[in-house]
Amino acid sequence: MLDNIPTIRERRTKSAEIINSLLKLLRTGWSPWVDASAARSYTLLDKALERYERHLERLQRQKTRQSYQSRVNILKEYNSTLPIPIKYVYQFDKAFISGFLDYIYYDRESSARTRNNYRGWCSSLASFFIEHAWLTDNPAEKIKSIEETPKKRQPLSTVQLKTLKKHLQEKNPYFLLACMFEYYTFIRPTELCSVTIGDINLQEQTIYIPAAVSKNKRDGKVALNDTLIKMLLDLEVFKNHSGCYLFGKKMRPCERKGDSEQFRREWLKLRKDLHWPSSFQFYSLKDSGIRDLANSEGIVIARDQARHTDVSTTNKYLTGRDLPVHNETKHFEGVL
């Protein structure tokens, strides 16, 4: 490239300029080994993340938006700690993601489950980049999840469930209704806040969960237990019009939508009154309900009530002592 320069001195001067220019490019993340045809891989990471954040704004579930935005912020925070932060999308590779996950697990002292959740999120972020032709493959798929410790949350015993019912019948019957819904219907707390009185069908004894509020983005129905129906009638819930939220503000039927935090706040008061450890949470009611329904009517029925796509998901809610056994096995006459 320098043959047209007549003198050695001028060639050396020009080569020094070229070397200096290439060093500046290399320090910003440019690589001569990236295929020139993949020019979109040189999209700035900051610009790509801005597009991703605009995508998050369109998600319906506020909790999901907040969670993913938090992860974006932590990713940016990690990148800023690197001696040479990555600049282009193509640098979002296995080495970078692996370092980021180590940062989550070791530096931030997060649990194995949190680290694995971040791995899944990195995979979805990479998929977003692929859809926009900024990446050609998903580097997160090459990274394995690590073994998780058993979850801290524990189901409630029969004695605890009876104690809870007796306590709340006197202190807070509307929160008891919320607990009964969690135990019998397995509806997630964030979904429970969106249930209206019009979603309840007394004749069918069902409650409708629209796709707009469902975690899996699918319409669904769950059965309403006889006990729940009686309690709804006793509390005169149906005197409110169909557009009212079942658990609105202050956990009463009203037109103002409540939030899932109200369940947590009331549960903390209950746990303090009953002197229960932190391993018993509001969501423990779902664990307990799945356990009891699976043992009474079978795991397939529990799976359908929980709106799980597979029995393996339902099994995650059951500890070893809670898993049902088949009566046929008890009376099987083998050859031996």
Mean pLDDT of the chain: 85
CA distance 90 to 40: 9
Most confident option among 3-17, 189-203, 308-322: 189-203
Instruction: Note whether residue 10 is domain-resident.
Output: no
172 with 318, same domain: the answer is: yes
219 with 193, same domain: the answer is: yes
Q: What is the pLDDT of residue 36?
A: 47
Whether residue 319 has pLDDT greater than 70:
no
The region that residue 220 occupies, defined by phi over 0 for left and psi between -120 and 50 for alpha, beta otherwise, is beta
| Structural domains in the chain (count) | 2
* Terminal C-alpha separation, the chain: 85
**Which pLDDT tens digit goes with each residue over 21-34?**
888 877 766 667 66
138 with 191, same domain: the answer is: no
87 with 204, same domain: the answer is: no
Instruction: Note whether residue 192 is domain-resident.
Output: yes
164 with 124, same domain: the answer is: no
90 with 234, same domain: the answer is: no
Q: What is the pLDDT of residue 104?
A: 93
Instruction: Note whether residue 180 is domain-resident.
Output: yes
134 with 162, same domain: the answer is: no
Domain that holds residue 238: 158-325
**Which pLDDT tens digit goes with each residue over 122-155?**
999 999 999 998 998 999 999 999 988 766 788 8
Tell which of 102, 117, 142 closes a domain. Answer: 142
pTM to 2 decimals?
0.60
**Which pLDDT tens digit goes with each residue over 172-196?**
999 999 999 999 988 888 888 889 9
User: For a pLDDT cut of 70, what percent of the chain falls above it?
Assistant: 89
Instruction: Note whether residue 112 is domain-resident.
Output: yes
183 with 297, same domain: the answer is: yes
164 with 112, same domain: the answer is: no
Which of 267, 292, 263, 291 has the alpha carbon at shortest distance from 277? 267
Tell which of 111, 142, 173 closes a domain. Answer: 142
Q: What is the pLDDT of residue 213?
A: 77
User: For a pLDDT cut of 90, what percent of the chain falls above it?
Assistant: 39
Instruction: Note whether residue 215 is domain-resident.
Output: yes
CATH number where 321 lies = 1.10.443.10
Instruction: Note whether residue 43 is domain-resident.
Output: yes
Instruction: Note whether residue 20 is domain-resident.
Output: no
DSSP code string of 26-57: HHTT--TTS-TT-GGGGSBHHHHHHHHHHHHH
Which of 220, 233, 168 has the alpha carbon at shortest distance from 191? 220
113 with 181, same domain: the answer is: no
Tell which of 82, 115, 142 closes a domain. Answer: 142
Q: Which helix (H) or strand (E) holds 222?
A: strand 220-223
Q: How many residues does the chain have?
A: 336
CATH number where 53 lies = 1.10.150.130
Whether residue 332 has pLDDT greater than 80:
no
Instruction: Note whether residue 236 is domain-resident.
Output: yes
311 with 169, same domain: the answer is: yes
162 with 138, same domain: the answer is: no
